[in-house]
Amino acid sequence: MFSSRDDLLLTEIMYINNARSETTYQGHTRMIYALK
């Protein structure tokens, strides 16, 4: 079982990774629109 502290850390890592992937996705979308 995770302790609440480990669970919070895991949630934070998932949130950071999700935010990073969203930023990358938006960047790719802007590049695609710029090429059109």
Q: 1-36, pLDDT tens digit by residue?
A: 556 778 888 888 888 877 777 777 777 777 667 765
Buried b (16+ CB within 10 A) or exposed e, 11-33: eeeeeeeeeeeeeeeeeeeeeee
Task: From residue 5, give the alpha-carbon distance in Å to each of 9, 14, 18, 20, 28.
Answer: 6, 14, 20, 23, 35
Q: Please check whether residue 20 is in contact with residue 12, taking contact to mean a CB–CB distance below 8 angstroms.
A: no
Q: Give the pLDDT score at 11.
A: 86
Domain that holds residue 34: 1-36
The predicted model scores a pTM of 0.43
pLDDT the model gives residue 9: 84
Question: What is the reported pLDDT for 36?
Answer: 59
Q: What is the pLDDT of residue 3?
A: 64
pLDDT value for 1:
52
Per-residue confidence (pLDDT) for residue 31, from 0 to 100: 64
